Structure 1
Amino acid sequence: MSHAITKTKVSFSGKIALLSVFIIGAMITGQASANDFTPSEQAAVNQHMELLSEQQGRSDEAMIDNQQQDFDAGLEKAENKFMSNICNEHGRQYDNATEVCYEQK
């Protein structure tokens, strides 16, 4: 059994390379010639960034509050289920309102 090595011929065009160099050069030149903001434009950008920061803070707080409420509700449900199971194992009834086990009648 013999293994044959195959060669893949890749055609490379000098025209494509030259075009790529011009495109990349134009992109770099465009970035280099960007004008700075005027004082009023910079103030508007700063105000916008401040508003975004405040809104992000409020969104973060709301998300944390929602997660805390979900966690608390899940924890309470798990505690009630656990206590109900423990009380049932000992022949007692669990009362959610008073959070105690009492004897079944």
Structure 2
Amino acid sequence: MSHSITKTKVNFSGKIALASVFLIAAMITGQAQANQFTPSEQVAVDQHLEIIANQQELSDEAMIQNQQQDFDAGLESAEDKFMNSICDEHGREYDNATEVCYEQQ
């Protein structure tokens, strides 16, 4: 079996490289010179941004309220477990409704 290494010759033209540089530069400067909004378009954009800001504020408030409710529920559960264990250690029973330890009968 014979192994041969083939060599491919690629001719690269300086003219193509120069044309590529000009093409890329034109694309970049074309992007940098975007048209400005007309007054009516600017009003529409401003209204849209205001709507987005309001929705974000509502979403943030709902998330914070949900987290607060989860925190409160977790804290209440931890308090109940703690009080149950403390009351049990002292031979008493904990009543969740009145949050008081009673003597076991």
- TM (norm. structure 1) is 0.79
Letter in 2 for 1:52: I
Compute the displacement of 1:18 (Å).
4.7
> For structure 2, which runs of at least 5 residues remain unmatched after alignment?
1-11
Aligned CA RMSD, in angstroms, stands at 2.2
Distance 1:82 1:39, change over 3 A: same
Compute the displacement of 1:30 (Å).
1.9
Distance 1:16 1:91, change over 3 A: farther
Q: 1:58 is matched with which residue? A: 58
Q: 2:88 is matched with which residue? A: 88
Q: 2:24 is matched with which residue? A: 24
Counterparts of residues 27-42 of structure 1 (less than 5 Å) = 27-42=27-42
Number of residue equivalences = 94
**Identity among equivalent pairs (%):** 77
Displacement over 4 Å in runs of 4+: 12-20
> For structure 1, which runs of at least 5 residues remain unmatched after alignment?
1-11
